[in-house]
């Protein structure tokens, strides 16, 4: 096993939950951390200064989307992704694998990579492990990830074959990497199958990466199945390196997956819900299009300190949502991101104080109490 | 002539250009002033805190839109428009007349008012002078305006009849007004006809209002025709009361209409252009969808100090615009509003310093130089 640059410092554990610091060329990232998603080099409806005010310490951008538009070479010419999007904090780019495999009939797979058609104009493109590393080196994020194949989670035979490709590609990505200022994460795959997940974690840790992503979850399997996989993967991964659970990050996920040894989370939910008039709260979700909010002078969530909750009523945000006003998206996005960023910070403090279990119990107690109250 | 509450203090004149202060229950408004338009109780894509940062001192909201949705009575129950939209500075509401008359086939006019169908759900409604004052009293803006008829500007006979209605309605609006904390502005109409405009200004000043709006301009007539009307109206209006030129507010208009005695401006242009990928500059307009900006690392406007220009390139904003990202609307809206708010402040300082004429000449010289450079 190669020893990687020591990017990550584990500060405390509480059960399987971990608190640490991830060092990057653009600053430190305290973990556990929620990473807002900036698919097209912008977190939808939220400016970089608002992200800073919210306490975001790292954001995600999508290799597939930026490769197609405006182009990774253009971004490199313009000084790289940080300068391009005006965000001077750490950035992680995904491999584009998930997006390409989501294209279904628009892509063709072989041992060396995948050929696909653009969702924008139908033009043909090809991603290989080397290509995906080159694209991510052009973008210039602090953390890049290997090309992987995100397989249908319940098909064992398919997962065996996909895993073989993902592992070969991981080796090739590591070999292709030329920039020393970028950390490279491997991606553990294997569907819902404990033996494949264990095998994948071992294979990748033997290659040796700067961190490990867990992919192919939250794609249709149950929470129980996801948790079971995390329980399998957690002990297989080195304690002194970060673990990133890809595409997962509801309030409940932050609590339960931190409890299973995960350090980094991302999810489009907070900004996607916002565009549909949805608010996340600690005790459930609100649909602001609902008529019951028409005269509600209260904030989205009682006690929340975000800009939306301290300045505007549910009635106003409902009005904005019904009138299709962009400010509605903006305020709901701010609130939803604030909740997840705040919860990740709270969880970290609780782990450092050795009080994570009581935080976790309190979280579920409050949720159940609200559920019971709503039933009455 | 009734003496109105002295809301306005004229501080200096420079030619016909005027610098003053308009006092309102929610703060002072230095004039000349550009008022961002918040049609549906939000300046599109710009939060109240961003409006404050931009230096906006007063904003506009639309009576017609808010009456229909979410309803003026609802807004009153929720504490009035200021609290509802989280803006604690001065607000002006228009009368809804312009919107209703824009409905064309969806409205029916009589001597007492206008019956119209909602653009949202087709439901039938009626605006009378009394009703429009009552709606605006529910909304609770600092400045409200009379119901008027915005006539086709070139039809003399129609303008004679419309003006008679507008004048009767102005008398009824003044009589209907019950709140002492709101200023009421009359609206001068009369199309492009100097005699009708003069007659209208005299009629309304004889009734006596807290300020005078000039309506029915920038609706199809030429700039020369608009300027000629302002030259006619300016000397008819009391010097110690504010003049509001409705719906007018490009950079060129701010310069040329301030030069003709106007104090207050509003225009949807900065936010509407932003949604279509357009940037205003002192020397012309940019369409950020244009391919020539794809690799342009420069700011929207050289020397501009707004958030967009100090943090992002034309290339990035072009990318956002092409990708239909909301942040593109946000940044272009911030820039466009910043330009108009900044120019209004500069014009005021120049008037106070007695240097407005040289500012005006410099503005056109720069514009012509850019035009010539582009031609080469």
pLDDT digits (tens, 9 = 90+) for B286-335: 999 999 999 999 999 999 999 999 999 999 999 999 999 999 999 999 99
Using a CB–CB cutoff of 8 Å, tell me whether B325 touches chain A: yes
Chain B residue with CA closest to A313: the answer is B84
Between helix B251-258 and helix B326-352 the angle, nearest 10°, is 20
pLDDT tens digits along B97-106: 888 888 877 8
Q: Is A74 on the interface with B (CB under 8 A)?
A: yes
A with B: how many residue pairs have Cβ under 8 Å apart?
Answer: 104
Q: Quote the CA–CA distance of B37 and A39 in Å, as a whole number.
A: 31
Q: Cα–chain-centroid distance for residue B53?
A: 20
Query: What is the mean pLDDT of the segment spanning A25-30?
Result: 97
The per-residue pLDDT for B312 is 98
Verify whether residue B266 is a known catalytic residue.
yes
| Closest-CA distance of chain B to residue A77, Å | 8
Residue of B nearest to A319 (CA): B70
- The pTM is what? 0.97
Q: Other C-beta atoms within 10 Å of B374: how many?
A: 9
Q: Which of B90, B80, B60, B94 is nearest to B185 (CA)?
A: B94
pLDDT of amino acid B371? 84
Distance CA A126, CA A156 (A): 27
What is residue B6's predicted lDDT score, i.e. its pLDDT? 54
For residue A374, pLDDT beyond 90: no
Interchain pair B77, A295: CB under 8 A:
yes
Contact, B230 vs B214, CB < 8 A? yes
Q: Is A195 a catalytic residue?
A: no
Alpha-carbon B211 to chain mean position: 14
Q: Please, which pLDDT band fits residue A6 given cuts at 50, 70 and 90?
A: low
Q: Rounded to 5 degrees, what angle do the CA atoms A262, A265, A267 make?
A: 145
Tell me what the pLDDT averaged over chain A comes to. Answer: 95
In the Cβ-directed half-sphere of B297, how many Cα atoms lie within 13 Å?
10
ipTM of the complex: 0.96
User: Sign of the CA dihedral A37, A39, A40, A46?
Assistant: negative
Domain-wise residue ranges, chain B: 23-267, 274-362
Name the CATH topology of A8-267: TIM Barrel (3.20.20)
- CB within 8 A of A328, min separation 6: which ones? A274, A277, A288, A317, A320, A321
CA distances from A248 to A275, A360, B18, B323 (A): 19, 18, 59, 25
Q: What phi and psi values does residue B325 have, to the nearest 5 degrees?
A: -90, 135
**What parts of chain B have a pLDDT lower than 50?**
1-4
Query: Best of B38, B46, B47 to disrupt the A interface by mutation (most A CBs within 10 Å)?
Result: B47
Could you say which of B142, B234, B263, B266 is catalytic?
B266
Closest by CA to A307, choosing from B250, B53, B189, is B53
The token pair that represents A300 in the structure block: 């989205």
User: Tens of pLDDT along A306-325?
Assistant: 999 999 999 999 999 999 99
Q: Is residue A5 scored above 60 in pLDDT? A: no
CATH topology for the B23-267 domain: TIM Barrel (3.20.20)
The average pLDDT across A98-124 equals 90
Cα A369 to Cα A364: distance, rounded to the nearest angstrom: 8
Q: For residue B49, which phi and psi values (nearest 5 degrees)?
A: -70, -35
- Cα–Cα dist A350/A344, whole Å: 10
Interface test with A, best of B64, B67, B68, B86 (most A CBs within 10 A): B86
Per-residue pLDDT band for A103 (boundaries 50, 70, 90) equals confident
């Amino acid at each position: 096993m190669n020893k990687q640059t020591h990017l990550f410092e584990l500060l405390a554990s509480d059960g399987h939950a971990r608190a640490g610091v991830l060092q990057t060329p653009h600053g430190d990232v305290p973990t556990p951390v929620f990473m807002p998603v900036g698919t097209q080099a912008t977190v939808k409806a939220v400016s970089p200064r608002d992200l800073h005010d919210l306490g975001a310490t790292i954001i995600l951008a999508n290799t597939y989307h930026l490769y197609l538009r405006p182009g990774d070479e253009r971004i490199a010419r313009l000084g790289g992704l940080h300068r391009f999007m005006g965000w001077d904090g750490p950035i992680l780019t995904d491999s584009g694998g998930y997006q390409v495999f989501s294209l279904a009939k628009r892509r063709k797979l072989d041992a060396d990579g995948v050929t696909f058609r653009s969702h924008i104009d139908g033009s043909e493109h090809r991603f290989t492990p080397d290509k995906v590393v080159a694209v991510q080196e052009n973008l210039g994020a602090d953390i890049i990830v290997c090309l992987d194949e995100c397989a249908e989670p319940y098909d064992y035979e398919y997962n065996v074959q996909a895993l073989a490709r993902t592992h070969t590609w991981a080796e090739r990505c590591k070999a292709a990497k030329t920039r020393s200022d970028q950390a490279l994460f491997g991606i553990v795959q294997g569907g819902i199958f404990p033996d494949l997940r264990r095998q994948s974690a071992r294979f990748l840790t033997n290659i040796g990466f700067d961190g490990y992503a867990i992919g192919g979850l939250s794609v249709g399997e149950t929470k129980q199945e996801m948790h079971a996989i995390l329980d399998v993967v957690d002990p297989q991964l080195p304690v002194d390196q970060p673990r990133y659970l890809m595409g997962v990050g509801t309030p409940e996920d932050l609590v339960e997956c931190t409890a299973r040894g995960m350090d980094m989370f991302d999810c489009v939910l907070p900004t996607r819900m916002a565009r549909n008039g949805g608010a996340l709260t600690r005790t459930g979700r609100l649909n602001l299009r609902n008529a019951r909010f028409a005269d509600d002078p209260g904030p989205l969530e009682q006690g929340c300190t975000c800009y939306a909750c301290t300045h505007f009523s549910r009635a106003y945000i409902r009005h904005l949502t019904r009138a299709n006003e962009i400010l509605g998206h903006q305020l709901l996005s701010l609130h939803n991101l604030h909740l997840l960023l705040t919860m990740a910070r709270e969880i970290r403090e609780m782990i450092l104080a050795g009080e994570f279990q009581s935080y976790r119990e309190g979280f579920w107690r409050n949720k159940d109490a609200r559920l019971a109250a709503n039933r009455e």
